[in-house]
Protein backbone atom coordinates (compact mmCIF):
# COMPACT_ATOMS: atom_id res chain seq x y z
CA UNK A 1 0.00 0.00 0.00
CA UNK A 2 1.10 3.55 -0.70
CA UNK A 3 0.36 6.57 1.44
CA UNK A 4 -1.02 9.79 0.01
CA UNK A 5 -0.62 12.77 2.26
CA UNK A 6 -2.08 16.09 1.20
CA UNK A 7 -3.07 19.03 3.33
CA UNK A 8 -5.22 17.93 6.25
CA UNK A 9 -6.02 14.39 5.21
CA UNK A 10 -4.34 11.08 4.59
CA UNK A 11 -5.69 8.44 2.29
CA UNK A 12 -4.39 4.93 1.91
CA UNK A 13 -4.34 3.50 -1.59
CA UNK A 14 -3.37 0.15 -2.94
CA UNK A 15 -0.84 0.18 -5.73
CA UNK A 16 -0.86 -2.48 -8.42
CA UNK A 17 2.11 -4.81 -8.49
CA UNK A 18 1.77 -5.20 -12.28
CA UNK A 19 3.40 -1.85 -13.01
CA UNK A 20 6.76 -2.82 -11.59
CA UNK A 21 8.69 -1.13 -8.82
CA UNK A 22 10.00 1.87 -10.78
CA UNK A 23 6.52 3.27 -11.44
CA UNK A 24 4.86 2.09 -8.28
CA UNK A 25 4.55 4.95 -5.78
CA UNK A 26 5.07 3.99 -2.14
CA UNK A 27 4.35 7.45 -0.76
CA UNK A 28 2.85 10.58 -2.30
CA UNK A 29 3.17 13.68 -0.17
CA UNK A 30 2.28 17.30 -0.72
CA UNK A 31 5.14 18.97 1.16
CA UNK A 32 3.68 22.46 0.85
CA UNK A 33 1.50 24.46 -1.57
CA UNK A 34 4.10 24.29 -4.31
CA UNK A 35 5.98 21.00 -3.81
CA UNK A 36 5.02 17.35 -4.26
CA UNK A 37 7.25 14.41 -3.40
CA UNK A 38 6.87 10.81 -4.45
CA UNK A 39 8.82 7.87 -3.06
CA UNK A 40 8.86 5.16 -5.72
CA UNK A 41 9.00 1.39 -5.24
CA UNK A 42 12.58 1.26 -6.52
CA UNK A 43 13.71 3.55 -3.64
CA UNK A 44 13.97 6.67 -5.84
CA UNK A 45 12.45 9.81 -4.31
CA UNK A 46 11.36 12.61 -6.62
CA UNK A 47 10.40 16.19 -5.78
CA UNK A 48 8.21 18.14 -8.18
CA UNK A 49 7.62 21.89 -8.25
CA UNK A 50 3.99 22.83 -8.83
CA UNK A 51 4.91 25.19 -11.67
CA UNK A 52 6.81 22.42 -13.50
CA UNK A 53 3.93 19.98 -13.09
CA UNK A 54 1.37 22.54 -14.27
CA UNK A 55 3.48 23.38 -17.33
CA UNK A 56 3.71 19.63 -18.10
CA UNK A 57 -0.07 19.11 -17.92
CA UNK A 58 -1.01 16.29 -20.32
CA UNK A 59 -4.69 17.23 -20.78
CA UNK A 60 -6.37 18.01 -24.12
CA UNK A 61 -6.50 21.73 -23.28
CA UNK A 62 -2.72 21.80 -22.88
CA UNK A 63 -1.67 19.27 -25.53
CA UNK A 64 -3.26 18.87 -28.97
CA UNK A 65 -4.92 15.43 -28.92
CA UNK A 66 -4.27 14.77 -32.61
CA UNK A 67 -0.72 16.05 -33.05
CA UNK A 68 0.67 15.72 -29.53
CA UNK A 69 1.94 19.31 -29.81
CA UNK A 70 1.94 21.27 -26.56
CA UNK A 71 -0.45 24.22 -26.91
CA UNK A 72 0.01 25.54 -23.37
CA UNK A 73 2.59 28.32 -23.40
CA UNK A 74 4.94 27.71 -20.43
CA UNK A 75 5.44 31.44 -19.88
CA UNK A 76 1.71 31.82 -19.12
CA UNK A 77 2.10 29.72 -15.95
CA UNK A 78 3.24 31.63 -12.88
CA UNK A 79 6.14 30.30 -10.83
CA UNK A 80 3.90 31.03 -7.85
CA UNK A 81 1.14 28.58 -8.88
CA UNK A 82 -0.07 26.36 -6.05
CA UNK A 83 -1.53 22.89 -5.71
CA UNK A 84 -4.99 23.38 -4.18
CA UNK A 85 -5.93 19.70 -4.12
CA UNK A 86 -4.71 16.28 -5.25
CA UNK A 87 -6.94 13.31 -6.09
CA UNK A 88 -6.05 9.76 -6.95
CA UNK A 89 -7.45 8.55 -10.27
CA UNK A 90 -8.11 4.83 -10.09
CA UNK A 91 -4.92 3.00 -9.26
CA UNK A 92 -2.77 4.62 -11.91
CA UNK A 93 -2.70 8.42 -11.77
CA UNK A 94 -3.08 11.73 -9.93
CA UNK A 95 -5.26 14.71 -10.73
CA UNK A 96 -4.41 18.18 -9.46
CA UNK A 97 -6.57 21.23 -8.85
CA UNK A 98 -4.33 24.23 -9.45
CA UNK A 99 -4.62 27.74 -8.05
CA UNK A 100 -5.28 29.02 -11.60
CA UNK A 101 -8.50 26.94 -11.68
CA UNK A 102 -7.19 24.27 -14.06
CA UNK A 103 -8.08 20.71 -13.03
CA UNK A 104 -8.45 18.47 -16.08
CA UNK A 105 -4.99 16.89 -16.30
CA UNK A 106 -4.57 13.24 -15.41
CA UNK A 107 -0.93 12.53 -14.57
CA UNK A 108 -0.29 8.78 -14.79
CA UNK A 109 2.27 7.37 -12.40
CA UNK A 110 4.37 6.41 -15.44
CA UNK A 111 4.25 10.03 -16.70
CA UNK A 112 5.21 11.38 -13.27
CA UNK A 113 8.10 8.94 -13.03
CA UNK A 114 9.28 9.99 -16.50
CA UNK A 115 9.09 13.66 -15.46
CA UNK A 116 11.43 12.85 -12.60
CA UNK A 117 14.17 11.68 -14.96
CA UNK A 118 16.85 9.15 -14.31
Domain ranges for the chain, please list them: 2-116
Q: Which CATH architecture has domain 2-116?
A: 2-Layer Sandwich (3.30)
Give the per-residue pLDDT at 16: 37
pTM: 0.81
Which letter, b or e, does each residue of 70-107 get, where b requires 16 or more Cβ atoms within 10 Å of its Cβ?
A: eebeeeebeeebbbeebebeeebbbebbbeeebeebbb
Ordered strands of the 106-108 beta sheet: 83-89, 93-98, 106-108
pLDDT in tens, 6-35: 443 333 333 334 456 678 899 999 999 999
Walk along the chain (118 residues) and give the pLDDT tens digit of each residue: 334 444 433 333 333 344 566 788 999 999 999 999 999 999 999 999 999 999 999 999 999 999 999 999 999 999 999 999 999 999 999 999 999 999 999 999 999 999 997 5
Q: Mean pLDDT of all residues in the chain?
A: 86
Amino acid sequence: MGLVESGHYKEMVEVSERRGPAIEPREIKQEDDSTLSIAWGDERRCRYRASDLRRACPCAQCVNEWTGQRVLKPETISNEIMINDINIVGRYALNFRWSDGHDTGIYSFRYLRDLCGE
